[in-house]
């Protein structure tokens, strides 16, 4: 790998678009890179690793504040892992809560659709259930 990389090359390597990388720089997730005499950003391998970390954390659904905390912790390799574990546990609890809500949503939608006989709107179970919601 070259010692210095353009933003376009980095974007390809980490599978992000250029505006996203710039945004991460603006909000401080990625340090602002030095620039060439032509005012082009110059990245290093450490920046690539950091952006890959961010992308993977985003893919797992971590929010930007959690990612910021995890990045800070990653820079302290000798510290205990307890805080990182707590962040991951909190995110897991949130994901499990969302799954429970989605499961209930699927059950309600399935019941709504399966009980419909595809007749007229005045007899439509979908419309009836949705109309009843605010009246409960």
Distance CA 20, CA 1 (A): 22
Determine the topology of domain 1-79 in CATH: Multidrug-efflux Transporter Regulator; Chain: A; Domain 2 (1.10.1660)
DSSP string, 90-134: HHHHHHHHHHHHHHHHHHHHHHHHHT--S--GGG-HHHHHHHHHT
DSSP state of 123: G
Per residue in 22-78, pLDDT (tens digit) is 999 999 999 999 998 999 999 999 999 999 999 999 999 999 999 999 999 999 999
Entry pTM: 0.79
């Amino acid at each position: 790998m070259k010692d210095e990389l353009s933003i376009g090359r980095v974007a390809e390597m980490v599978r992000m678009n250029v505006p996203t990388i710039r945004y991460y720089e603006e909000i401080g997730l990625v340090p602002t890179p030095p620039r060439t005499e032509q005012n082009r950003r110059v990245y290093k391998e450490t920046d690539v690793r950091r952006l890959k970390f961010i992308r993977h954390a985003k893919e797992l659904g971590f929010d930007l504040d959690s990612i910021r905390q995890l990045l800070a912790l990653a820079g302290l390799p000798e510290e205990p892992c307890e805080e990182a574990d707590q962040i991951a546990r909190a995110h897991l609890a949130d994901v499990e809560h969302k799954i429970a809500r989605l499961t209930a949503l699927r059950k309600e939608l399935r019941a709504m659709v399966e009980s419909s006989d595809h007749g007229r709107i005045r007899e439509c179970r979908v419309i009836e259930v949705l109309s009843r919601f605010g009246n409960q």
